[in-house]
Amino acid sequence: MMAWREYDLKNVYLPFIAGEGMGKYFSDPAFCPLKQSPKDDPAVAIMHWSQVFGNASLTWKDIAFLQEHTSLPILLKGVLHPEDAKLALEHSVDGLTVSNHGGRQVDGALGALEALPRLCDVIQEEIPVLLDSGIRRGSDVLKAMALGANAVLVGRPCMYGLAVAG
């Protein structure tokens, strides 16, 4: 298997590598220590982002490190497969967020709503299950709750409200 650095990035659909959707990242003060401002050299900032957020060395064992260093609840986001839900329980996470990250980053990913019932079957109400993906109106909330979600995350409707002056 090739390391990610060996891939020809011109043939990979990842909008972030092209700098799309990076506005929040570029304006985050946490990235000011870069040698150059992200706005001055987007390529350096994008590659730094890819090393931080695309860290393939992270494993399930890293959850123990987080649990050792915080008393905050740890919710695992991006879970779509029942086997990952089982592993989340084995590693004592405090909750799951079922999400395909809007489907934008991984074109063709399984829809979060489709994955939700299978994950809830595994979790059996041992920990909260949240749904984050595609919630645009009240009926979406009702569907998610009917399929087993304890709660939903509603970032997009908030952005719609802000877009029309709140």
Residue 42: Cβ-neighbour burial (10 angstroms; 0-12, 13-18, 19+): middle
Are 100 and 132 within 8 A, CB to CB?
no
What pLDDT does 4 receive? 39
Top-tier CATH class for 62-163: alpha beta
Name the pTM for this structure: 0.70
Note the pLDDT tens digit of each residue in 15-61. Answer: 777 777 777 777 777 666 677 778 788 888 888 887 777 777 888 99
- Domain boundaries defined on the chain: 4-53, 62-163
Q: Which uninterrupted H or E stretch holds 30? A: none
Note the pLDDT tens digit of each residue in 62-101. Answer: 999 999 999 999 999 989 999 999 999 999 999 999 998 7
Q: Which uninterrupted H or E stretch holds 76? A: strand 75-79
Catalytic annotation, residues: 101
